[in-house]
Amino acid sequence: MISDQAKKEINTWVAKYPEGKQSSAVMQALTIVQKENGGSLTNELKQAVADYLEMPTISVQEVATFYENYNHKPVGKHVVRFCHNISCMLNGSDELISYLEEKLDVKTGEISKDGLVSVKRVECLGACVGGPMCQIGDQYYEKLTKKRIDEILDGLK
């Protein structure tokens, strides 16, 4: 269930922690496994991570459901993680999220018909001064406007 390549990557993280504390690498392991499996985690994958790190399944579930960077149902090729927390909300995130949903013809949590994009509302991403902002992959996009959203979406392939 976890590929050899993914295990190799996970092992580099496990090696950063004291012996017997491999469960400390659970977030990285979930991230690696999620990325390798189209951007979301099934219960089987979470179980596989628990088995690999020799930790209780419930502990993996707790981490996977606490943090917003894990997806529990299929997502588009690109996930627009749009912050709707206080700074971003005060600077117009709700209106921009609605604009994004309208433009893509999706609701938050859904995948665009072409499978390219899904939209997720998330809590603070720590870039409050740049709000309204979103994250796509490893990239942050700040001070968003409708025009900027158009440009970003045009750049997604």
What's the DSSP call for residue 96?
H
State both tokens at 67. 């943090």
Nearer to ligand FES, 46 or 81 (CB): 81
Coil vs helix vs strand at 77: coil
How near is the Cβ of 23 to ligand FES at its closest, in Å? 29
Residue type present at position 98:
S
How near is the Cβ of 105 to ligand FES at its closest, in Å? 25
How near is the Cβ of 90 to ligand FES at its closest, in Å? 8
Give me the residues that bind ligand FES (CB under 6 A), please.
83, 85-88, 124-128, 131, 133
Angle at 81 between CA 40 and CA 109, to 5 degrees: 60
Other beta carbons within 10 angstroms of residue 46's beta carbon come to 24
> CA gyration radius for the chain?
17
Nearer to ligand FES, 58 or 86 (CB): 86
Cis? peptide before 18, omega within 30° of 0: no
Cα gap 153→10, rounded to integer Å: 32
Nearer to ligand FES, 100 or 133 (CB): 133
Nearer to ligand FES, 3 or 98 (CB): 98
How near is the Cβ of 130 to ligand FES at its closest, in Å? 7
